[in-house]
Amino acid sequence: MTHSTTDTTVQAGRDTLEAAGRLVDRWMADEVNWSSLPPQLAEAAQYGVLGGGKRLRPALVLSCCKAVGGCDEDALPAAAAIEFVHCFSLVHDDLPALDDDDLRRGRPTLHVHAGEPMAILAGDLMLAMAFGLLADAQCAADVRASLVGELAHGTSDMVAGQVYDTLGGLPDALNAIDQVRLVHRNKTGALIRAACRMGGRCGGADAASLDALTRYGEAMGLMFQIVDDMLDVTQPAEHVGKATGKDAASGKRTYPGVLGTSACHDEVNRLRDEAVAAVTALGPAASPLACLAELMAVRTR
């Protein structure tokens, strides 16, 4: 059986991503209370949050909300909150004491732009503000509380993944590929999974739909990181917008390093099919989610 990804579905995924990015960028610029902050803290946090990026996580929040019958407005605070957390994690991961990266999204990283003290504090602020956005959302209190739980646990798992990835501590009993999976399920997967579940909760998903979105999110998260690992090997920095070739240089365990490139391609295709299958039962409203999966399987940056 061959998979029939068409240019049309990939383009539809691209359109979904771009539309979500425009919506959430405008919301983050206009609806977040930047003016109450010390001016240079506001500037640093805006640099970290508003400086581009794929906006995949917000797109997943919005698309998952709509897949279960909600609308964009129901999900925009949650979409912004998860992007705040994602951007906080990039700012801190880029710090000299951690990955020591100078380039992110084609621009100097925040600690290069504003200094290390400000990058630490602005990252902290972004994380705290994410939860403030959820607390202040207009939806029902039980939905707000559930969104906080999803985001908090997703963030904790993400930090755990960063520790596994950079500081070690992986269980010796696991073989190499299961170790890589454990890193990535936490480091990247947890927040992508949380994005999907948060979108579902914003749209009032029932248990079965939330379960479908969870399986979609787990497949998407793993697929995203495998593609990321492959781009680190194959693409120049100026194309990806951040340093590449660092995984091999630092001796990190990666998917292509453990499985080889060909098996990685197979794994990407398998996970894409799994993601698409998970949301098929949700009907036509979930078709943007399928298109996002097709796009993420073939992205080159």
Chain contacts with a copy of itself (rule: CB under 8 A): 36-41, 88-89, 92, 95, 97-98, 116-118, 120-121, 123-125, 127-132, 134-136, 140-142, 144-146, 148-149, 151-153, 155-156, 159-160, 162-164, 166-170
Query: Minimal distance in Å, beta carbon 239 to a copy of itself?
Result: 28
Shortest Cβ 277–a copy of itself spacing (Å) = 29
CB 9 within 8 A of CB 291: yes
Residue type at position 67: A
* Residue 121: strand, helix, or coil: helix
| Cα separations in angstroms, 287 against 5, 12, 47, 104, 281 | 13, 9, 33, 31, 10
As a whole number of angstroms, the distance between CA 189 and CA 154 comes to 9
Q: What is the amino acid identity at position 156?
A: S
Shortest distance, CB of residue 144 to a copy of itself, whole angstroms?
A: 4
Structure tokens at 127: 């994380």
Helix, strand or coil, per DSSP, at residue 52: coil
Kindly tell me which of 163 and 177 has the beta carbon lying closer to a copy of itself: 163
Angstrom distance (rounded) from CA 48 to CA 276: 32
Nearer to a copy of itself, 129 or 210 (CB): 129
Q: Which is nearer to a copy of itself, 56 or 125 (CB)?
A: 125
Least spacing, CB of residue 101 vs a copy of itself, in Å = 14
Task: Return d(Cα 292, Cα 290) in angstroms, integer.
Answer: 5
Candidates 225, 158, 145, 143; CA nearest to 194 is 158
CB of 6 to a copy of itself, least distance (A): 40
- In the complex, least distance from residue 21 CB atom to a copy of itself, rounded to whole angstroms: 25
Give the C-alpha separation, 147 to 78, whole Å: 7
**Contact criterion met (CB below 8 Å) for 20 and 67:** no
DSSP 256-269: HHHH-HHHHHHHHH
Please give the Cα distance from 240 to 233 (Å, whole number). 11
Let me know: does 134 contact 77? Beta carbons within 8 Å.
yes
Phi/psi of residue 104, nearest 5 degrees: -150, 130
Decide whether 56 or 134 has the Cβ nearer to a copy of itself: 134
In DSSP terms, which residues pair with 108 in a beta bridge? 103
